[in-house]
Amino acid sequence: MVDLKLLSYLETYLTENRKERFETVLSQRTRYFTVAIEDVYQLHNTSAVIRSCDVFGIQDIHIVEERNLKKIDREIAMGAQKWVDVNRYHSTKNCIEEIKSKGYQVIATTPHKDDCLLEDFDTTKKSCFFFGRETEGLSEEVIKQADGFLKIPMVGFTESLNISVSAAIILQHVTSKLRASEISWLLSDEEKNEKKLDWIKKTIKSYDDIVARFYSR
């Protein structure tokens, strides 16, 4: 539980514009959909997907680093890593287990399966969209464990899109459809307060000293 008195006190260290910005962004954040990327090789692709999650209001991203372990490219992510919760895994199996334990269906995004086209996707179930490696695509583990497959319609000679482009197209579509629905997709008040406290911690200097002074009063 967030200490609301502490939270109110910490907000006094924010500008009015920053406080309003936090409230506005939190009012559009969701955990109803989430994203997982599997061993993406190009660092800028991982960073760009994180940025897309922030842009379209996705609070959580899950990154499998079974083969490729790299730091987020801060320039491309444009600071989005501060506002999105990045969860890291050493195996695809562990990632899927964690996602399914939280009630998400696993949706494998691939141009080679015809289960569902993007415009026909059913948004009434909590979903995690899995994106695979640049050249190999998703692993057999994801394909085997997937609850559904999602395909972006393409009419050109090229049969695939860059992972970051695919993620942006899919997230823009499903979040727009979600916000136009009557589904309960917002963060709870407690979740909003937790994120606000986390963002304040990442924003103000001498956070620990300020908290210590508050509790010593």
Whether 61 and 106 share a structural domain: yes
CA-closest candidate to residue 26, choices 177, 195, 203, 202: 195
Q: Which domain holds residue 16?
A: 1-28+186-217
Predicted pLDDT at 54: 96
Q: Sign of torsion, CA 127 132 137 141? A: negative
pTM across the whole model: 0.91
DSSP classification of residue 2: -
Domain count of the fold of the chain: 2
Q: What percent of the chain has pLDDT over 90?
A: 73
- Both 44 and 141 in one domain: the answer is yes
pLDDT (0 to 100) of residue 67: 67
Asked if 43 and 146 sit in the same domain, the reply is yes
Task: Give the domain CATH number at 127.
Answer: 3.40.1280.10
pLDDT in tens, 50-84: 999 999 999 999 999 876 555 555 544 456 788 99
pLDDT at 111: 77
Nearest to 49 by CA among 157, 117, 129, 108: 129
| 197: CB partners within 8 A, 6+ apart | 2, 6, 7, 10
Same-domain pairing of 95 and 126: yes
- The verdict on 200 and 108 lying in the same domain is no
Domain match, 108 and 207 both: no
Do residue 21 and residue 34 come from a single domain?
no
Contact 45, 22 (CB under 8 A): no
Encode pLDDT of 19-36 as tens digits.
999 999 999 999 999 999
Same structural domain for residues 24 and 44? no
What CA–CA distances, in Å, run from 94 to 70, 88, 110, 123? 19, 10, 21, 25
Between CA 76 and CA 46 the distance in angstroms is 9
**C-alpha to C-alpha distance for 12 and 66, rounded to whole angstroms:** 43
